[in-house]
A and B are shown apart, each in its own frame.
Chain A
Amino acid sequence: MCLAIPGKILSSEDLGLARSGRVQFGGIVRQVRLDFVPEANPGDYVMVHVGFAISKVDEAEAQRTYQLLAEMGALEGELPPEENQ
């Protein structure tokens, strides 16, 4: 129920009471409310829950932590697989 999935903003528009935009999830494009992410613009990734973006994905943080994790995985790849674990 608290599922939120990342999507990329393709366009945004102000509709008076609401701010809304087209957001791409893999191959699917949906209309999403952007009221809670005033700082997010086309090209940015947002986490979407029940039709509303609830955060703008922090790309720099994501990049940094993922890099660290990937290095961890790469290091593990250097070792003989599945030994005395």
Chain B
Amino acid sequence: MKYLDEYRDARIARALLAEIAQEVRGHWVLMEICGGQTHTIMRYGLDELLPKNIELVHGPGCPVCVTPLETIDKALELASRPDIILVSYGDMLRVPGSTNDLFTIKAKGGDVRVVYSPTEALKIARQNPGRGVVFLAVGFETTAPANAMAVWQAKEEKIHNFSVLVSHVLVPPAIRALMTSSECRVNGFIAPGHVCTVMGYEEYEALVRDFRVPIVVGGFEPVDLLEAVLMLVRQLEKGEARAENQYVRSVNYEGNLPAQRVVKEVFEIVDQKWRGIGTIPASGLRVRDAYGDYDASRIYGLASITAEEPAECISAKVLQGLKKPTDCPAFGMRCTPHNPLGAPMVSSEGACAAYYNYRRDLAVR
């Protein structure tokens, strides 16, 4: 496919690897933020092809992984009600809540439906006027415009049985939280290309300034990621710290303004809890009061549900790049994609699942 296959070209990848090997002197710890990027790195073994003094650590950019336990529990409660149809992206079905997951509720007769797009959730609402249709709206900045559009359109079309259970997270405040932590070893970031497609990368300038850390917006194919690594290495070797863009075919500085507009119209920024990590200031979105009739948390009185994380899972450290999945005692033993203890093992973009799929041998210690 055009704009896909050519960015998997082995010849170009080899040339980039050679260039990186030639330019790198120091030992650099680089973090890719997005789980999609982690998946590509593991799938193509880029971490093993890079020179030894470049260490890749994996960031918190898997929305499925960081959706708070209590949001899952709220979804489970809604899905158990006969008057409600719970609609979700497929990745969320196996995410463990406190006692259960959506898949189990569905098997027991709960009406849980999987969609690819929020517009399908809206369609289900139109077709079932007698029942409440709740869409589990999770995601990063990339997904927020589509989810916001569904809410905006529901209001315009006066579809009163549609609502969203929102868990939306924002990347720049998470990078700030990571950099502020005393344990942080990261020397440079690969910023998530599709988040920046929507938001642009102006916001990253402040992070570059405040922490003197280079940030390169990167794409998702092997050639994209290797080029982003090369751009980071060049900056680091020269002692520079700038916000740069590797993913120019999709990202510009301001981002997608019509998409940002609908997000602003429907959502407002709030402090947000990240599963395993805790609350990060101004790092999430919630439905504005003007659209309160479409906010499932409000209309179904769910606000009081809270929950604690299971102790064994070290996903907090994994999601902050402080530990590798293979450092977890449960990895591949008590925790597998079929029977996940923590969310990073559920989604294919979770670091634990990526390691399980492509690096299971490393767990044999």
Binding site for B on A (CB under 8 A): 1-6, 8, 17-18, 25-26, 33, 35-38, 45, 47, 49-52, 54-55, 57-59, 61-62, 65-66, 69-70, 72-77, 85
Contact = CB atoms under 8 A, between A and B. Distances in A.
B42 to A, nearest CB: 15
B50 interface: no
Nearest to A52: B146
Interface size class of B (residues with CB under 8 A): 35 or more
A85 B14 CA distance: 10
Given A1-B62, A54-B250, A59-B249, 17 more contacts: A1-B36, A1-B63, A2-B34, A2-B61, A2-B143, A6-B3, A17-B157, A36-B256, A49-B194, A50-B146, A61-B249, A62-B3, A62-B249, A69-B227, A73-B11, A76-B18, A85-B17
Q: Is the interface of A mostly helix, strand, loop or mixed?
A: mixed
Interface in B158-213: 192, 194-195, 197-198
A50 B116 contact: yes
Contacts of A47: 194, 197, 250
Interface in B226-251: 227, 248-251
B140 interface: yes
Contacts of B19: 72
A70 B11 CA distance: 8
Interface string B139-157: 1101101100100010011
Nearest to B39: A3
Most chain B beta carbons < 10 A, residue from A1, A3, A57: A1
Contacts of A25: 1
Given A1-B349, A6-B4, A51 B146 contact: yes
B276 interface: no
B12 interface: yes
B258 interface: yes
Given A6-B1, A69-B227, A76 B248 contact: no
Contacts of A6: 1-4
B143 to A, nearest CB: 6
Given A2-B61, A2-B194, A4-B142, A55 B251 contact: yes
Contact of B15 (A54, A59, A73): A73
B249 to A, nearest CB: 4
A31 to B, nearest CB: 9
